Copies of this chain bind each other. A is one copy, B any other.
Amino acid sequence: MKKSEEKILKDQFAELGEVIAKNESFIIMSHVRPDGDAIGSQIALGFSLMAMGKTVYLVNEDGVPESLMFLRGSQSITTPGEPVDVDVAIALDTATKPRLGERSLHAAGRAKFWINIDHHISNPAYGDLNVIDAGKPATGQIIYELIQQLGYPLPEETRDAIYVAVSTDTGSFQYGSTTAETYEMGADLIRRGLDVGMINAETYDNHPYRRLELMRALLNTLAISENGKLAHWELREETRKKLVLQPDDSEGLIDLIRGVKGVLVAAFFEELQDGKIRVSMRSKNKGVNVCEVASQFGGGGHSLAAGIRMAGPLEDAKAKVLAALETALESPVH
């Protein structure tokens, strides 16, 4: 980070500290279909404020996914109900306000002040006070730095939740977004008593048996183009029903095909309950822009990760998208 950016962030943290100091009650939210960084950031900030004696409501539109229920403090996150009497609403890791979910927005309706903390560059700064730092690999790391700078308490729930937030958003400290500070944070959390073996076993070695059944079903549909650059698989609604799949069961599985040597684009086709087809695409190469392909079918995303929701049946959607991907692969942008 440049010196000037560091200075801005420090000033924002100081301003945030003032708002927190002069208010007593908070509703802390994150995005729908929450992942590790969403839930982890909620617990991390929530338990720190609670340790300061603040009144905190932790609310998520979809509650806590099964795979994150091992996190201490996750029991305190509820699904939204009637509006709560709070001074301040805090949105974490949520790129646009509607992504908090309608019922969450309703529950936070009485808040007089909005804080927006995020690491998504596309965040339009919808809060009264915004801390948006796209240089951080996870919102959890922003929360960590905020707590450090303001001298806030860092109870065990916060410690574990920060680690899980950052670990899950960096593919276990692997992605290019990971910085030296991320690793230093890991060291500090371990020195504060984090059980690194245990927390990773709970995060990564604790998937339901049906995830392997899903992996098997997907691998049995795996196909790769003749030149080896495009690999894809599919999930049919009947398989989803047969395996009684949960929404987060397929989380991250596309990385298995993205990780094949020589593959530049990975695509995942899913039949949804309403008959529509969801397409997830990953590119390994900036020259092959999957967002452009997505936009041809009304979808969107980033150049390296994009998605579409389009009309079925599966065969038609697949044929169209694969043809567009082949074209994109034939004429890469340099």
Contact = CB atoms under 8 A, between A and B. Distances in A.
Contact of A208 (B191, B195, B197, B261): B261
Contacts of A224: 209
Q: Which of A173, A174, A197, A222 has the most CB of B within 10 A?
A: A174
Given A173-B173, A178-B196, A197-B174, A262 B209 contact: yes
Nearest to A188: B180
A167 to B, nearest CB: 8
A260 interface: yes
Interface in A276-329: 284
Interface in A135-183: 171-183
Contact of A186 (B183, B215, B263): B183
B207 A260 contact: yes
Interface residues of A, number: 51
Contacts of A207: 259-261
Given A212-B260, A228-B209, A180 B187 contact: yes
Given A259-B206, A259-B207, A261-B207, A171 B187 contact: no
Given A215-B219, A222-B216, A255-B205, A200 B171 contact: yes
A209 B263 CA distance: 9
A227 interface: no
Nearest to A195: B176
A184 interface: yes
Copies per complex of this chain: 2
A190 B182 CA distance: 10
A257 interface: yes
A198 interface: yes
A179 B172 contact: no
Nearest to A182: B187
B259 A205 contact: yes
B215 A174 contact: no
B219 A212 contact: yes
Interface in A250-268: 255-263
Nearest to A205: B259
B212 A197 contact: no
11 contacts: A173-B196, A175-B197, A176-B195, A176-B198, A178-B197, A180-B190, A183-B190, A186-B186, A207-B261, A208-B260, A209-B262
Given A172-B174, A178-B196, A215-B219, 5 more contacts: A173-B186, A180-B190, A212-B219, A215-B215, A216-B220
Q: Which 9 A-B pairs have the closest CB atoms?
A: A176-B197, A174-B200, A205-B259, A216-B219, A183-B187, A183-B186, A172-B172, A180-B187, A180-B190
